[in-house]
Structure 1
């Protein structure tokens, strides 16, 4: 059996708490007594229990109505002969069926219960009803925001402000946030300013992003512009609008931008050092688009030997699709600092060379004629410029040749066509009994005895 705590124990706990929080013990004790008296007088009462039962009953019935009727309402809305936008609005309202039902039930209670039970108190029911109405209106209004995360954040923040206002805590909350501040020289930064800055900047950046996406979609419909020009203009519009959005958001929150000059300069240096590679990739990507050395659709060969097609050029990296259908994300900076072969620049035709050798017993003129014949009729080999076969030298074990031809589709790779030409050379050499040499070594053993 646990003994009841003594007054001395309660007083020592109060003093310890006051010491930790750095508050006057007498003031803390007075506040605790006041909070306890208010709780007993306003919360732990029969009227509050009745209101809680009414609210819980309305919530249960509301969710039950939603569970029973939601699927049927969806079918009815889909069968309506109405414009798509009307159906979409009705579907959004259907998804709010539970809070709408709760609001209707609580409103009926507020309308009829006072006439049936004259002395009943419905202050808590009234507050919950207004909270539910605010939630319904906010959820319907924020449907214009397409980003789900942004939509939920805006709805939560707006509803929280509405809740504080309904319960009468908004002014106290604003005063508490305004009283919490950080002073940097002559500039005072309060918690309220930070909250307003974050909210205003978030809204303005989202609006800027939506406008930039709209501009990029409109640019796609202009056939006279190249894909690189569209991408460059889209990047510039997005960057400019984002900077303007941040500045407008700070100004709307009441921040004096001139007072932040020194502080923002120091922060800018730190952020610049931390994002050095990212900023470098951003501007090198814009440089590539401006000088058009690499554009979406070009076939490029990297310093590592890989060949692929540029699919898209982003703010941080460029996506290249290789012949084996793998997607490689290459930082833009590497495309400027590392050697890159652009097969599409100056024409799509690409020269392919196949090196081979034959035995010294054969006529080089015959070999050149047979080798050139292997390129005739091949669907990937161009007949102009004309294929050629060169006699390149007398090797250690063979007569060396180089067969050159041009293709118009380097994005499909060169390994496959080299393999086909080598097989064709093997077949024609086999038909004419031409030998392909291999190294010979002679070992002499000297007997000293």
Structure 2
């Protein structure tokens, strides 16, 4: 209770100091003099900056719409500049006016104008840097926190504000959490996560551009880099909050045991994903069949694999199913895929001619490969009403579809058989109608 009373007294003293500074500044502005004149000048500059923002913003829109083919990053930069055009104009005008007044009058008569110009520059820089934080809520929190902190530092009451925030807190035994430590930790975490995201993205782009690394190993390395950098950012943020990480070891172990029982499937999928990446059995771009699902691997995730089918559907298959189930990987060892087509012709057709025509028909289809993967045709049996054949051909782009290439070869067989009088038999039935007997 005594510690809480002391903390409360310190908070009241900090509030009194800050309030005294604010009231003193307000009284000095209300009295006629150069401080009041500077405030009037700053208000005029704000009005001019607002007008310039409207006029120049329309001109920028007109010029951007007149040009085509710009890269996305250039358009994003222009949009961000346009949104902050008024602040930029105000900073430029206030800075220029401050430099002029420093030369023609006493420095104290332009102090507020210089301070406003510095604040505008700081706000603009913080606003631009905040765009690197993707999370909108975290970005707003960090940007507003940095704006307030920069403002308090520049106007000279940063120590008083820091003391006030440090005095506001809660005690948990020997450990104390203050509002200042919470805000500092949030800003640190935001900055560190932004840096971790930038580094991981840069590293990922370089790893993916390295052709010496297999696609599955690229995904594994990228995931490892992301876990390392984001983990470091999280631990540094906790350390900035002042928490003792060693004290959390027992608690985290107990939580881990509980989660292990409740999240067995999730853990199994995570481990299966690591196994898939290590043994390189499945990698992005492979064409697989799993049950009734046929498609190509779009991406490998920590919990599931994204498989895109020919009809545009995207299946999210758990990693465990790919480890425990039977998967047909059409492009595991190489990119060549052999397809088989069965057909039959009547006994009156010369099988030598039929085989030659079948190979010729398949070779004329665009996606069918030529030498050394030339199509072949063999007799596989003598049926009840036809001589049965198998036509085998190779393709190297299974992502282009299998049904369509089979259909193209069947159509080519139909055309060439019709042109050469090769008949395809079909079952015939003879129906006899018996007379009714008495």
Q: TM-score, normalised by structure 2?
A: 0.68
Aligned pair 1:370/2:354, yes or no?
yes
Name the structure 2 match of 1:300: 288
2:160 is the counterpart of 1:171:
yes
User: Equivalents in 2 of 1:61, 1:209: separation in Å?
Assistant: 39
Structure 2 contact 189–236 (Cα < 8 Å) conserved = yes
Q: Deviations over 1:391-426 (max 9, x none)?
A: 34646xx44734231313233322233223322333
Shift of 1:235: 1.8
**1:286 corresponds to 2:274:** yes
Q: Is the 8 A contact 2:349 2:423 kept in 1?
A: no
Question: More relative contact order in 1 or in 2 (CA 8 Å, sep 6+)?
Answer: 2
Count, aligned residues: 387
* C-alpha deviation, 1:274, in angstroms: 8.8
**Is 1:437–2:426 an aligned residue pair?**
yes
Deviations 1:360-398 (A, max 9, x none): xx4288357514531233351556476233434646xx4
Alignment of 1:25-424 (within 5 A): 42=27, 45=30, 53-64=40-51, 96-105=88-97, 129-137=114-122, 139-140=124-125, 147=132, 149=134, 154-165=142-153, 166=155, 168=157, 171-172=160-161, 174-176=163-165, 178-181=167-170, 183=172, 187-220=175-208, 222-265=210-253, 281-308=269-296, 310-315=297-302, 317-320=304-307, 322-323=309-310, 326=312, 328=314, 330-331=316-317, 333=319, 334-358=321-345, 362-363=346-347, 366-367=350-351, 369-371=353-355, 373-376=357-360, 377-378=363-364, 380-382=368-370, 384=373, 387-392=376-381, 394=383, 398-399=385-386, 401-409=388-396, 410-424=398-412
Deviations along 1:239-295, whole A, 9 cap, x unmatched? Answer: 112212222232234321123334545666787789877665554333222101012
In 2, distance between residues paired with 1:421 and 1:251?
66
Aligned-partner Cα distance in 2 for 1:172–1:148: 26
Residues 400, 241 of structure 1: CA spacing in aligned structure 2 closer, same or farther, 3 A cutoff?
A: farther
**How far is the alpha carbon of 1:55 from its aligned partner?**
3.3
- Give the TM-score normalised by the residue count of structure 1: 0.66
Question: 2:287–2:294: 8 Å Cα contact kept in structure 1?
Answer: no
3-state SS of paired residue (1:436): coil
The offset of 1:110, in angstroms, is 8.9
CA-atom RMSD in angstroms? 4.8
Seen in structure 2, the aligned counterparts of structure 1 residues 447 and 381 have a Cα distance that, compared at 3 Å, is farther
Residues 142 and 356 (structure 1), Cα distance of their counterparts in 2 relative to 1, 3 Å cut: same
- The structure-2 alpha-carbon separation of the partners of 1:264 and 1:168, relative to structure 1 and needing over 3 Å to count, comes to farther
1:9 counterpart residue number = none
Q: In structure 2, do the counterparts of structure 1 residues 417 and 233 end up closer, same or farther at CA, with 3 Å as the change threshold?
A: same
- CA deviations 1:298-327 (Å, max 9, x no partner) are 22234324233x344344554545446x37
Task: Tell me, in whole angstroms, the C-alpha distance in 2 between the residues paired with 1:215 and 1:178.
Answer: 42
Report if the CA contact (8 A) 1:312-1:318 is conserved. Answer: yes
SS at match of 2:188: helix
Q: State the alpha-carbon separation in 2 of the partners of residues 217 and 231 from structure 1.
A: 11
Contact (CA 8 Å) 1:294, 1:342: kept in 2 or not?
yes
The structure whose Rg is larger is 1
